[in-house]
Amino acid sequence: MSKAIPSRNEDYSLWYNELVKKAGLAENSPVRGCMVIKPYGFAIWEKMQQTLDKMFKDTGHSNAYFPLFIPKSFLSKEADHVEGFAKECAVVTHYRLKTDEENGGVIVDPDAKLEEELIVRPTSETVIWDSYKNWIQSYRDLPLLINQWANVVRWEMRTRLFLRTAEFLWQEGHTAHATKAEAEAETQQMLEVYAKFAEEFMAMPVTKGVKTASERFAGAVETYCIEALMQDGKALQAGTSHFLGQNFAKAFDVKFATKEGKDEFVWGTSWGVSTRLMGALIMAHSDDDGLVLPPKLAPIQVVIVPIYRKDEELAAITEVAEKFKSALQDKNISVKFDNRDTHKPGWKFAEYELKGVPVRIAIGPKDLEKGTVEIARRDTKEKQFVNQDETVDFVTNLLEEIQTNIYSKAASFTEENTRSVETYDEFKQVLEKDGGFIYAHWDGTPETEEKIKDETKATIRCIPLNSSSEEGVCIYSGKPSKGKVLFAKAY
RNA sequence: CGGGGCAUAGCACAGUCCGGUAGUGUACCUGGUUUGGGACCAGGGGGUCGUAGGUUCGAAUCCUGCUGCCCCGACCA
């Protein structure tokens, strides 16, 4: 009981915060805006990393590592880039502390001021393109396909565990290409990788699209994104892929010799997903009893709980449990046999539900008699008895079914909460009453976008890639529109 | 960074109005009985009441500064 979390209906935001803490995913740190990612939360992140890392390598990318600190002067080399990030950079000004003679403790040593201040990377384009200048000489060095797993710091005013923290973990891909078309194809390809990851592994449907100019990455020519709808009807940007054009190449003078011997600027891309995906994963599927994890990302896919009175019973149950454990592990299923005698079965049931373990197997004396086990699935909370000789196959299939089911559930939710409107009144009404994704005509101007945002808090999440070019008139200005765009209130 | 609320044991809170030396639940430790949905009984440990100062014989309580957290806005992956 002590671990019960608030319900989503009562207070969605509190539900999220409490769930993150009670499920042991993360907690606040002594430093404002930062978070401690706890072992269980990190285990989920590691599974995401492993999967994505393989997808990146399968598409020809290699990992590297660039430094945390960036000379301040680098940031200002690309005008839009500095404009976008300057407001939220942490700056290193000194390199030494000394003991405070008067008050005890330590103070910054005023004699240790850095000649050029360093910024803590908010993203690594600048430091990476500075290297690329030396790495790239000719068309033979292209394409250059690099990814790095790193932490970055953006000094946010308002933070929330996983969704927006001052320091976060992410991967950032940075590629350089000989032609515009190739760089554009790379941008698209990585967007597809993200969409595939979100849908197949996170079981989270996403809408692919292009950002409007005002939402574009600072320094990009075009920003592509995947947007997902959370259970409270708000949208969450889950990943971005940027076509950088020649902006950074020009800023850092990255040229290559073509086959014909001409000097040309290279074309760039960058793309990233962060620990924010953890927030998306939590909000996409979980319920009032706790986390619901897709089997493909669950650190523990199956938990086995013994039910017994006497030690002899435990011994007999353990024998069966261990047999299942190794049989399932042989099928690459991660299994935990929780034989702790410090907690009762009911306590363990609640605990693993809170933690979102997809499948629970309970084995008790009655099961030993009947040759069965009790199998419970986290997504629907259904329980059933299964014969022991069918258990391994049953569980293997069940994991796949759960993965499919939570995707369908999220997909129907997204579908049910995606609406199309023709007028501004209708737009405001739907936004107020239902939230969710709203398709509406927009005249394409930043002014209209801004006004709608000011008046309704809804932003253009993206111009969907698959949108039909159905002509119409802008809901706000009445001017002509070439197609509907996707609006929502967003995280 | 503006507006509001909060800060007391690991966690959730009471006590603050009206100053008198800190309490409840839960978690933790020990022993026993228990175990098919968050067990029960008995005993036990743990808090310089966010922090710095002020008022007072005496401060969790009154006053001031600071810090942090939560909610609402502006900014953002």
CATH number at residue A369: 3.40.50.800
A437 forms beta bridges with A418
Is A259 within a domain?
A: yes
- List, as own/partner pairs, every contact residues A58-65 make where C-beta atoms lie below 8 angstroms and the sequence separation is at least 24, other chains included: A59/A145, A59/A189, A59/A190, A59/A193, A60/A145, A61/A145, A61/A146, A61/A147, A61/A173, A61/A175, A62/A145, A62/A146, A62/A147, A63/A146, A63/A147, A63/A148, A63/A149, A64/A146, A64/A147, A64/A148, A65/A148, A65/A149, A65/A150
A98 part of a folded domain: no
Nucleotide nearest to A28 (CA to C1'): B69
Tell me the CA–C1' distance in angstroms for A343 and B45: 22
Q: Nearest nucleotide, C1' to the C-alpha of A5?
A: B12
Residue at A358 is within a domain? yes
Do A476 and A442 form a contact (C-beta atoms < 8 A)? yes
Q: How far is the CA of A292 from the C1' of B29 (A)?
A: 34
Are A167 and A227 in a shared domain?
Answer: yes
Last residue of a domain, one of A366, A398, A430: A398
Question: Whole domain around residue A244: which residue ranges?
Answer: 12-91+121-285
* Closest CA relative to residue A369, chosen from A333, A320, A439: A320
Contact predicate A122/A168, CB 8 Å:
no
The verdict on A186 and A270 lying in the same domain is yes
Question: For the CA atoms of A357, A359, A362, A368, what is the dihedral angle to 10 degrees?
Answer: -150
Please list the rounded mean pLDDT of every run of 10 residues in chain A (491 residues).
72 87 87 87 97 98 97 91 88 86 75 91 96 97 98 88 91 98 98 98 97 93 96 94 97 97 97 95 94 98 96 94 98 96 94 96 96 98 97 98 98 96 94 92 93 90 87 94 93 89
**Final residue in a domain of this structure, among A370, A398, A426:** A398
Same domain, A144 and A175: yes
- Write down which residue in A231, A254, A285 finishes a domain: A285
Q: Which residue is nearest to nucleotide B74 (CA to C1')?
A: A157
CB A196 within 8 A of CB A55: yes
Measured CA to CA, the distance from residue A85 to residue A77 in angstroms comes to 12
The answer to whether the CB of A469 falls within 8 A of the CB of A483 is: yes
Between CA A103 and C1' B57 the distance (Å) reads 31
In whole angstroms, B71 C1' to A278 CA is: 23
Provide the 8-state DSSP code for A458: -
Distance A12 CA to B18 C1' (A): 39
Q: A445 and A346 in one domain?
A: no
Does residue A225 lie in a domain region? yes
> Any idea what DSSP says for residue A226?
E
pLDDT of residue A3: 60
In a domain, A406, yes or no: no
- Residues A308 and A281 placed together within one structural domain of the fold: no
Q: Identify the CA nearest to A172 among candidates A215, A125, A139, A118.
A: A125
If one counts the domains in chain A, the total is 3
- Same domain flag for A134 and A44: yes
Whole-angstrom distance, CA of residue A316 vs CA of residue A242: 58
CATH of the domain at A459: 3.30.110.30
Closest CA to A22 of A455, A334, A410, A353: A353
Nucleotides of B under 7 A from a protein CB: 1, 10-11, 25-28, 34-39, 67-77
Q: Residue A268: give its domain's CATH number.
A: 3.30.930.10
Pair type for strands A335-337 and A302-306 = parallel
Residue A104 pLDDT: 65
Q: What nucleotide is nearest A225 when CA is compared to C1'?
A: B77
Q: Are residues A50 and A193 in the same domain?
A: yes
Q: Is A480 inside a domain boundary?
A: yes
A160: in domain = yes
Torsion of CA A160, A164, A165, A166, to 10 degrees: -130
**Residues A167 and A153 sit within 8 Å (Cβ to Cβ):** yes
Q: Are residues A281 and A305 in the same domain?
A: no
Same domain for A268 and A313? no
Amino acid A8: pLDDT: 87
Closest nt by CA–C1' to A3: B38
Q: What is the ipTM of this complex?
A: 0.88
**A411 token code pair:** 């997909």
Å between CA of A287 and C1' of B30: 38
Contact between residue A254 and residue A318 where contact means Cβ atoms under 8 Å apart:
no
Cα A379 to Cα A43, A198, A280, A332, distances in angstroms: 20, 18, 17, 21
- My answer on whether A86 and A173 are in the same domain is yes
Taking the C1' atom of every nucleotide in all shown strands and the CA of A375, the nearest one is B36
- Asked whether residue A358 falls in the same domain as residue A246, the answer is no
Residue nearest to nucleotide B75 (CA to C1'): A157
Phi-psi region of A405 (alpha: psi -120 to 50; beta: other; left: phi over 0): alpha
Nucleotide nearest to A352 (CA to C1'): B38
Q: Is A84 part of any domain?
A: yes
| Residue A141: strand, helix, or coil | helix
Q: Can you give the distance from the CA of residue A1 to the C1' of nucleotide B22 in angstroms?
A: 27
Nearest 5°: the CA angle A119, A120, A126 is 70
Give, in degrees to the nearest 5, the angle at Cα A117 between A111 and A119: 135
Are residues A354 and A271 part of one domain?
no
